[in-house]
Structure 1
Amino acid sequence: MARLLTSGDIRALSRGLGITPTKKWGQNFVVDANTVRRIAAAAKLDADDVVMEVGPGLGSLTLALIEIARKVIAVEIDPKLALALPTTVAHRAPEEHERLVVVETDAARIDPAQLPEPPTALVANLPYNVAVPVVLHALEHFPTLRKGLVMVQAEVGDRLTAQPGSKIYGAPSVKMAWYAKAKRAGSVSANVFWPVPNVASALVAFERIESPDANRVEVFGAVDAAFGQRRKMLRQSLKAWAGEDVDAVLDRSGIEPTRRGESLDIAEFIALADAKEALGGTSRT
């Protein structure tokens, strides 16, 4: 069994590497082993899972994941951390360290060709400033991802799991619903991080659903337009997306032009895209 990192271990590793957590990359390291165990358990991994872990940092969560999964592919943007992680894992998990692969790159731009094999799960403590684009990028470009558990800023977690009609329901909520069923899976105290963040954290779990039979580019275009001017009625907010056909698109989709984007669910955004496609002949992507 791997020896998880303690608060003292993490500080010692940081000093040895000459690393100070930076706001630039949203680095807040988890220093509580119990929290790490809880996250790993909540991910509901199988022994044959290939986990993509974004932002492994010094390896707190990596050590817990590598005990369970067949392989952990750690995606790290910081070159110092990427170089040090294999040594840390080899030292503290000698029986499992060969299951680790480190890829030094930006997770918001990673391509499947950069990984040794397709991942089946995403588990990560995500930097707060890039959490949404990283999750959506992973779901778009890695269709083999069946499930995931991510730790994000509580407000981001609320947005990813929000339902139509709520004040926090927006583009991230709809786009997440295109790919997966997502739910809040718990809260995480700020005190388990170093440095201590000034925001609350939450766990979000998701399970991929079958891709809708629709043009994703057009659906997301409608979503972005509707929430780009969320206070306006659809007749106005969708003009930038549908142009002169906006009234015809709304009429064909059966959606009242006086509604606002925050009241539409994913099925209704799909109806808008289908209507535009039928009227304008946009190609499917």
Structure 2
Amino acid sequence: MDKIASPSKTKEIVSKYGFHFSKSLGQNFLIDNNIIDKIINGARITENSYVLEIGPGIGSLTQGLAEVAKKVVAVEIDQKLIPILSETLKDYNNTEIINKDVLKLDLHSLINEKLDDKETIVVGNLPYYITTPIIMKFLEEKVPVKAIIIMIQKEVAERMKAKAGTKDYGALSVAVQYYCNVETVLNVPPSVFIPQPKVESSVIRLEVLTKPRVAVEREELFFQVVKDSFGKRRKTLLNALSSGKLQINKELLKETLATCGIDEKRRGETLSIEEFAQLSNELSKIL
């Protein structure tokens, strides 16, 4: 079958079905097969791979995945795209389309029922406004996936892989790195999409760790310490944590920070993930 990911083929498909792009769903279709090949290589897809794709659109990336992987299950929220996908992917019997909102799915059941409970690779070209909730759903619910390879806004990718002490480092950096190794596969210009987005994109690979990067006594407390620490970036740790959601007593907090060897005048953006773990584990003894 002809490659879907070309300007002429994409326009032909869109015209044939009278499809109108939805701004609210953030729809931008890839029209460059070189980019698709690089995404598939970055995802390390082989003939034995089980793939869960999120947001297949008209099937541009799905087609490339289906030609390599053992099985591809693609979840598409837009009902208007289902008849298009049925047509564009009709030659691939290793592909299944599900018309659902991925944020409302039981992902454990989906992988068990549709992907033979195999170790799964997640691939997607996501609407940028929904990127973080979808990624965090996979990580927080501990869905059994090997890696997540996602096209996202370049600025968000930079935040996910940022290190302590840099301007992009924040609660998102700590949350993602708690669960994953993070690397950028490639940066993608707006010109390879129809319609063109107004921002640059990056394909990021999240290699899910077999266990979290640091050992914490209480995950919920760990993440709340992180959120409170970054809640007001100009505040010192002492002021941020005493005035945040946790409302920690200042004197107890001073003692705990001293026990951890962390200067109370430091700000959250200077703490490494290991220091956040140490701090939350000490706080778990008094909270």
By the TM > 0.5 criterion, same fold?
Answer: yes
Counterpart-to-counterpart distance in 2, 1:114 and 1:199:
32
> Structure 1, residues 225-263: CA drift from partner, whole Å, max 9, x if none?
111111111111112225224334323333221111111
Q: Which runs of 5+ in 1 are unaligned?
A: 281-285
1:1-285 equivalences in 2 (<5 Å):
3-5=2-4, 6-90=6-90, 94=91, 97-112=92-107, 113-115=109-111, 116-117=114-115, 118=117, 120-209=120-209, 210-211=211-212, 212-214=214-216, 215-239=218-242, 240=244, 241-244=246-249, 245-280=252-287
Counterpart-to-counterpart distance in 2, 1:141 and 1:3:
38
Q: Which runs of 5+ in 2 are unaligned?
A: none
- Do the aligned partners of 1:28 and 1:193 also contact (CA within 8 Å) in 2? yes
Counterpart-to-counterpart distance in 2, 1:261 and 1:110:
34
Instruction: Name 1:283's counterpart in structure 2.
Output: none
Counterpart-to-counterpart distance in 1, 2:260 and 2:158:
29
Q: Tell me the amino acid that sits aligned with residue 221 of structure 1.
A: Q
- Do the aligned partners of 2:3 and 2:9 also contact (CA within 8 Å) in 1? no
Cα-Cα RMSD: 1.8
Counterpart-to-counterpart distance in 2, 1:276 and 1:146:
32
Question: Which deviates more, 42-51 or 226-235?
Answer: 42-51
Counterpart-to-counterpart distance in 1, 2:79 and 2:142:
24
**1:109–1:267 distance in 2 versus 1, CA, 3 Å:** farther
- Do the aligned partners of 2:40 and 2:64 also contact (CA within 8 Å) in 1? yes
Q: Tell me the amino acid that sits aligned with residue 4 of structure 1.
A: K
Could you list the runs of 4 or more consecutive aligned residues of structure 1 that deviate by over 3 angstroms after TM superposition?
none
Q: How far 1:30 sits from its partner (Å)?
A: 0.4
Q: How far 1:130 sits from its partner (Å)?
A: 1.4
Aligned with 2:87: secondary structure?
Answer: helix
Counterpart-to-counterpart distance in 2, 1:135 and 1:195:
24
Counterpart-to-counterpart distance in 2, 1:249 and 1:103:
50
Aligned with 1:129: secondary structure?
Answer: helix
Aligned with 2:140: secondary structure?
Answer: helix
Counterpart-to-counterpart distance in 1, 2:27 and 2:51:
20
Counterpart-to-counterpart distance in 1, 2:2 and 2:168:
40
Q: How far 1:213 sits from its partner (Å)?
A: 2.8
- Do the aligned partners of 1:36 and 1:61 also contact (CA within 8 Å) in 2? yes
Counterpart-to-counterpart distance in 2, 1:50 and 1:235:
47
Counterpart-to-counterpart distance in 1, 2:274 and 2:75:
33
- Do the aligned partners of 1:75 and 1:102 also contact (CA within 8 Å) in 2? yes
Q: How far 1:49 sits from its partner (Å)?
A: 2.0
Counterpart-to-counterpart distance in 2, 1:105 and 1:252:
49
Q: How far 1:83 sits from its partner (Å)?
A: 4.1
Counterpart-to-counterpart distance in 2, 1:83 and 1:270:
49
Q: How far 1:142 sits from its partner (Å)?
A: 4.3
> Structure 1, residues 98-120: CA drift from partner, whole Å, max 9, x if none?
22122222233432224423452
Counterpart-to-counterpart distance in 1, 2:16 and 2:219:
47
Question: Which deviates more, 263-272 or 171-180?
Answer: 263-272
TM-score, length-scaled by structure 2: 0.89
Aligned with 2:152: secondary structure?
Answer: strand
Aligned with 1:122: secondary structure?
Answer: strand
What is the count of residue pairs matched by the alignment?
A: 274
Q: Give % identity.
A: 32
